[in-house]
Structure 1
Amino acid sequence: FVFLTGVTKFAQVSVFSDLNQLNDISMDRAYNALCGITQDELIKTFGPEIQRLSENEELTLEETIFRLAKKYDGYHFCEDTSVGLFNPFSLLNVFQKLKFGNFWFQTGTPTYLVDLLKKSDYDLRLLLNGVEVTASAFSEYRAEANNPLPMIYQSGYLTIKAYDKEVCLYTLQFPNDEVCYGFLNFLVPFYTKVTDDETGFHIAKFMRELKSGDVEAFMERLKIFFSGIPYELSDDMERHYQVIFHVVFTLLGQFIRSEVRSSRGRADAVVHTPTAIYVFEFKLDGTADAALKQIDEKGYLIPYTLDGRKLVKVGVNFSKETRNIDEYIVVEE
């Protein structure tokens, strides 16, 4: 018996023409928990380590397990997503260093995958919200293919989050916070003028500004992220600015609750801080007034009226001519 594992698929590749009788168990239900650690295994095996981590982080055991799951759990290797797997490499590093970090993501830089995304002109918002694919996406091995999803999936940056048995469609998404935020932070310099070492600084500043109620500083900082849109973009510019906007608000989720619109009938973004809830609406070549009017007409604030926190509306207009935010209005309810 020989067990082979790797990043890319080997089926039908000419270099393996003499090795064509292999049994691919990558998505077999019987082996779906083979390469990872389940939550039951985590609790039973790593009790003392979890206890030390909780004491070091000043968390309860329940809070520690929740944070471990949010950051390192969520991998699935077949249609049955009831059993999630933790990343063993990340868990062992957490317990050794006694702190939460992006350990697996730091083992390699996905520059090649980012190049694939840019060459294929893939809409990054689909990765954030989840994208449906057929079974053929798991058997595609050609890196030059126009669809970058198979390579991103096989590299471990996406995993199966749901399966619709009726139409045989899989939903792929980032498995957990470690991969999601690590990947997006890595992407920022490729899509904006913000350099890699500045990204974390800016996102942390975004969080501080909203928590302190300084929306104007937040908006001025947001202009920095949009300032790198190249002039050769024309028809794709709207999607490009929406992608940057999605990435920024998703990265905010590392520090405070941030929801980015994934369906009709919701504001473009809603950010929750301990003292306020901010509702953002963006327009392209419109007006900030029109954005505010939409917030009111669509009732985007209604779900939060009994929350008790301050409610703040932010209407924003993005100009194609200047390729940046040209107007915004902040109204406190």
Structure 2
Amino acid sequence: MIQKYPVGIQDFGEIRTGGYLYVDKTAFVHSLVTQGKYYFLSRPRRFGKSLFISTLACLFLGKKELFKGLYIEDKWDWKQTFPIIRISFSNIGHKEKGLYRAIDEQLDNIAEDYGIVLREKVISGKFKELIEKLSELRGQVVVLIDEYDRPIIDYLGEDTAKAIENRDIMKVFYSILKDADPHLKLVFITGVSKFSRVSIFSDLNNLTDLTLSHHFSASCGISEAELETYFQDELKVYDKEKIRAWYNGYSWDLAVSVYNPFSLMHFFREGKFHNYWFDTGTPTFLIKLTKQIHLYDFENKETSLSHLNSYDLERLELIPLMFQTGYLTFKSYDEEGDIYTLGFPNKEVKKSYLEVLLDAVREYPSDQGIVLVNELRKTLLVGNINKLEGILNSLFKSLPYELWQKENEHFYHAIIHLAFTLLGVYVQSEVQTSDGRMDALVRMKEYIYCFEFKLDGSADEALKQIKDKGYLQPFAQENKKKIAVGINFSTEKKKVEALKWELIA
């Protein structure tokens, strides 16, 4: 361990007084507080939103000693302080108490801290009264709301009625902010799902959305420049390109790409590549939705910004959800068509998501899928074609009979696609889906494999197709062995019925 990393610590004061590494984000804080008043920022979980909120709180409380040596130190009037209403919806106990009661108690607690007695009985009235009385006593109020959408996200896919109920409660709660403008210094709201804001904050139409702003693209996460500045000693020890492949790749403006701070800090502390961020919250609902709509190819997904902003609790869309929660990110933009292309941000997310999805499709409650994919990798590495049939059959072995009867073709294609896409995490592997192209191509150190799969067809027919269409011809000049593999899968037998291969000159 080279530095003291603030893994899991979201309190700015604790980081600054505890000797932990702090990546200076106060330039963004300064820009925020001097250029506007109402803001919203969406970022995935564990990306530094809560730390940003904490930094703002310390700034407005005038805790100058915490900002020594930081960008904002000599750019702020430390003599002036402001009262703060700060609510984090991740820890107010909305599940145990119910959202309405949890908000009600939170407002009472804040009022008590400032020596204020609230007379209003409903939460919207209490919120308004608290802002007005604080403003009269202490000056304009700073409102900091962290993870505003947690009471919705916690019920996605489980209890839609509860999610809608919570959405409606929050809409009423936030409705008073616009008329409270004379009493407010700053309103800053964070969440995972920026698309929910359309209905919840419909009355607060002066809210500036920073989510896709180029000026705030690196406000959360760690940029390349920050990596090189704050982790110079670590980069002398570890492979920077490998770190980038595992943990970089998140972009909200297609100009700046950032590292996942949670995974990066964990990696430097442990010295081991692992799925740190993914392991803190398996996306069960997204996996379930993915299975329902039979979508297994997440690279180069084209969509519009309006689609990403759409949000209907009663008809959830997978791609916007995956984008908002950090499982997909921007890869490119077609300005003429006004279309964004999305994909997995990095190896951690791609590997983890597809591993969980593969086992979910196979309905096998373990990590056996990735074990078999690794066996496939080792087998192809040494050219042991004879073992292929057994490995592929093992991938399908656990599928219940009922699934085969109902959706055999969907499950067959899903497992083949996921297995070979996962193989691409370790070696150069592509799975094609368009007509007239090979089903799968795998490039190893000494071999190039072309696979053609048939369902209730013929392995000979598959092999013939590879040769007739010249799928391996583009690689003729490479000094590697080219192997064509035709495979026929039988839905009746639920296994590989025949496998034929041939070395192509």
Instruction: Give the alignment's TM-score, normalised by structure 1.
Output: 0.87
Is the 1:52–1:98 contact (alpha carbons within 8 Å) kept by the matching residues of 2?
A: no
1:108 lines up with 2:281 in the alignment: yes
**Structure 2 CA distance for aligned equivalents of residues 110 and 40 of structure 1:** 31
Stretch moving more, 94-103 or 177-186: 94-103
Stretch moving more, 190-199 or 149-158: 190-199
**Structure 2 CA distance for aligned equivalents of residues 77 and 229 of structure 1:** 41
**Structure 2 CA distance for aligned equivalents of residues 230 and 31 of structure 1:** 51
* CA shift in 2, pair 1:262/1:31, >3 Å: farther
Corresponding residue to 1:72 among 238, 244, 247: 247
Task: Give the drift of 1:20.
Answer: 5.5
The number of aligned residues is 317
Mark the runs of 5 or more structure 2 residues left unpaired by the alignment.
1-185
Corresponding residue number in structure 2 for 1:37: 222
Stretch moving more, 229-238 or 31-40: 229-238
1:209 lines up with 2:382 in the alignment: no
Task: Give the drift of 1:238.
Answer: 2.5
* CA shift in 2, pair 1:143/1:220, >3 Å: farther
Is the 2:212–2:252 contact (alpha carbons within 8 Å) kept by the matching residues of 1?
A: yes
Corresponding residue number in structure 1 for 2:151: none
Corresponding residue number in structure 2 for 1:57: none
- State, as a whole percentage, how many aligned pairs show the same letter: 38
Paired AA for residue 296 in structure 2: L
Is the 1:249–1:260 contact (alpha carbons within 8 Å) kept by the matching residues of 2?
A: yes
**Structure 1 CA distance for aligned equivalents of residues 373 and 366 of structure 2:** 12
Task: Give the drift of 1:159.
Answer: 0.7
Is the 1:193–1:225 contact (alpha carbons within 8 Å) kept by the matching residues of 2?
A: no
Is the 2:351–2:425 contact (alpha carbons within 8 Å) kept by the matching residues of 1?
A: yes
Task: Give the drift of 1:315.
Answer: 0.2
**Structure 2 CA distance for aligned equivalents of residues 145 and 20 of structure 1:** 25
Paired AA for residue 52 in structure 1: V
Is the 2:459–2:487 contact (alpha carbons within 8 Å) kept by the matching residues of 1?
A: yes
Which string of whole-angstrom CA distances, capped at 9 and with x for unpartnered residues, describes residues 48-80 of structure 1? 011122xxxxxxxxxx121111111111113xx
Corresponding residue number in structure 1 for 2:357: 187
Corresponding residue number in structure 2 for 1:61: none
Corresponding residue to 1:98 among 258, 271, 289: 271
Task: Give the drift of 1:232.
Answer: 4.7
Is the 2:244–2:259 contact (alpha carbons within 8 Å) kept by the matching residues of 1?
A: yes
Residue 320 of structure 2 aligns to a residue whose secondary structure is helix
**Structure 2 CA distance for aligned equivalents of residues 72 and 271 of structure 1:** 24
Residue 486 of structure 2 aligns to a residue whose secondary structure is strand
1:47 lines up with 2:232 in the alignment: yes
Corresponding residue number in structure 2 for 1:224: 394
**Structure 1 CA distance for aligned equivalents of residues 406 and 295 of structure 2:** 14
Stretch moving more, 204-213 or 244-253: 204-213
* CA shift in 2, pair 1:297/1:285, >3 Å: same
Task: Give the drift of 1:146.
Answer: 4.5
1:134 lines up with 2:304 in the alignment: yes
Task: Give the drift of 1:247.
Answer: 0.6
Corresponding residue to 1:11 among 197, 200, 211: 197
Task: Give the drift of 1:251.
Answer: 1.1
**Structure 2 CA distance for aligned equivalents of residues 152 and 268 of structure 1:** 26
Corresponding residue number in structure 1 for 2:456: 285
Corresponding residue number in structure 1 for 2:255: 82
Corresponding residue to 1:256 among 427, 443, 448: 427
**Structure 2 CA distance for aligned equivalents of residues 184 and 175 of structure 1:** 13
Task: Give the drift of 1:292.
Answer: 0.9
Task: Give the drift of 1:154.
Answer: 0.9
Alignment of 1:230-241 (within 5 A): 230-232=401-403, 236-241=407-412
* CA shift in 2, pair 1:208/1:312, >3 Å: same
Residue 141 of structure 1 aligns to a residue whose secondary structure is coil
Residue 318 of structure 1 aligns to a residue whose secondary structure is strand
Residue 208 of structure 2 aligns to a residue whose secondary structure is coil
Which string of whole-angstrom CA distances, capped at 9 and with x for unpartnered residues, describes residues 191-224 of structure 1? 0144323233222211111112222212211112
**Structure 1 CA distance for aligned equivalents of residues 354 and 494 of structure 2:** 22
**Structure 2 CA distance for aligned equivalents of residues 197 and 238 of structure 1:** 23
Which string of whole-angstrom CA distances, capped at 9 and with x for unpartnered residues, describes residues 269-299 of structure 1? 1112222111101122221111111111111
Which string of whole-angstrom CA distances, capped at 9 and with x for unpartnered residues, describes residues 159-211 of structure 1? 11111111111111111111001101111221014432323322221111111
1:166 lines up with 2:351 in the alignment: no
Residue 4 of structure 1 aligns to a residue whose secondary structure is strand
**Structure 1 CA distance for aligned equivalents of residues 280 and 363 of structure 2:** 25
Is the 1:185–1:196 contact (alpha carbons within 8 Å) kept by the matching residues of 2?
A: no
**Structure 2 CA distance for aligned equivalents of residues 200 and 118 of structure 1:** 18
**Alignment root-mean-square deviation, CA:** 2.2
* CA shift in 2, pair 1:263/1:44, >3 Å: farther
Residue 142 of structure 1 aligns to a residue whose secondary structure is coil
Task: Give the drift of 1:104.
Answer: 1.0
Task: Give the drift of 1:19.
Answer: 5.3
1:329 lines up with 2:504 in the alignment: no
* CA shift in 2, pair 1:168/1:234, >3 Å: farther
Task: Give the drift of 1:116.
Answer: 2.0
**Structure 2 CA distance for aligned equivalents of residues 221 and 310 of structure 1:** 22
Corresponding residue to 1:124 among 268, 290, 296: 296
Task: Give the drift of 1:88.
Answer: 1.3
1:295 lines up with 2:466 in the alignment: yes
Residue 488 of structure 2 aligns to a residue whose secondary structure is strand
